Chain A
Amino acid sequence: DIVMTQTPLSSPVTLGQPASISCRSSQSLVHSDGNTYLSWLHQRPGQPPRLLIYKISNRFSGVPDRFSGSGAGTDFTLKISRVEAEDVGVYYCTQATQFPQYTFGQGTKLEIK
């Protein structure tokens, strides 16, 4: 299975400041079809995860443009340009390149200082 490793596991951030989360996969996420199936999910307390970013850098419907994704191969980053109160929760990277064997990072808890 592809192992996904996130850093940091906890990120205290000041409102209005940027935040960044890294995700590294144990092997390349480039699929034989040329796509890289790396996504980011956000889970607020008591809520299910929701899709933020798919295929490295594509924002899902309704996701604010302060969220952006980047990376290639095995190294990926989620950035929030200016953190808002509603952004608290846990962020997960996930890969579907090895479908159906989805794997997830451990999660990064974003909290407000």
Chain B
Amino acid sequence: EVQLVESGGGLIQPGGSLRLSCAASGFTVSTNIMIWLRQAPGRGLEWVSVIHRGGQTYYADSVEGRFTISRDNSMNTLYLQMNSLRDEDTAVYHCARITSNVGTDYWGQGTLVTVSS
């Protein structure tokens, strides 16, 4: 059974850093395309970052230069390092698997990040 479990969210002051984790089971992270998305109240769903099976990474303009996506193949885990956090980064962050020709077929429950002083 495919499962994705996020962790690492919490309350953080503006300018701070957090690292989110997404532990996968039932499939291999390194052979799939993985994505981080976020959902903020009043702002709907937004893609944040993608890592291709070949290792190429992509970032939304809103997080470029501040966030870094990575994966640990031995742990079968996806990460999102978030630096220089801003109030507008407050959201529930989901990881999801992307299957070619299908799309975001499995999502994690999400982890809440609150950026506030």
Q: Which residues of A contact B (CB under 8 A)?
A: 35, 37, 39, 41, 47-51, 54-55, 58, 60, 92, 94, 96, 99-107
Min Cβ gap B53→A in Å is 13
Contacts of A96 in B (CB 8 A): 98, 103
Dominant secondary structure of chain B at its interface with chain A: strand
Min Cβ gap B28→A in Å is 19
Report whether A50 and B107 are in contact in the complex, using a CB–CB cutoff of 8 Å. Answer: yes
B72 lies within 8 A of chain A by Cβ = no
How far apart sit A41 and B107, CA to CA, in the bound complex (Å)?
A: 11
Q: Which residues of B contact A (CB under 8 A)?
A: 35, 37, 44-47, 50, 58, 60, 94, 98, 101-110
Min Cβ gap A8→B in Å is 16
Min Cβ gap B45→A in Å is 4
User: With contacts A100-B35, A102-B35 known, is A48 near B107, CB below 8 A?
Assistant: yes
Min Cβ gap B9→A in Å is 14
Contacts of B104 in A (CB 8 A): 39, 41, 49, 51, 94, 102
Report whether B110 and A37 are in contact in the complex, using a CB–CB cutoff of 8 Å. Answer: no
How far apart sit A50 and B47, CA to CA, in the bound complex (Å)?
A: 15
What is the chain A residue whose CB lies nearest that of B59? A100
Report whether B102 and A60 are in contact in the complex, using a CB–CB cutoff of 8 Å. Answer: yes
What is the chain B residue whose CB lies nearest that of A92? B45
Report whether A51 and B105 are in contact in the complex, using a CB–CB cutoff of 8 Å. Answer: yes
Contacts of A100 in B (CB 8 A): 35, 47, 50, 58
Contacts of B35 in A (CB 8 A): 100, 102
Min Cβ gap B76→A in Å is 19
Report whether B45 and A104 are in contact in the complex, using a CB–CB cutoff of 8 Å. Answer: yes
Report whether A39 and B103 are in contact in the complex, using a CB–CB cutoff of 8 Å. Answer: yes
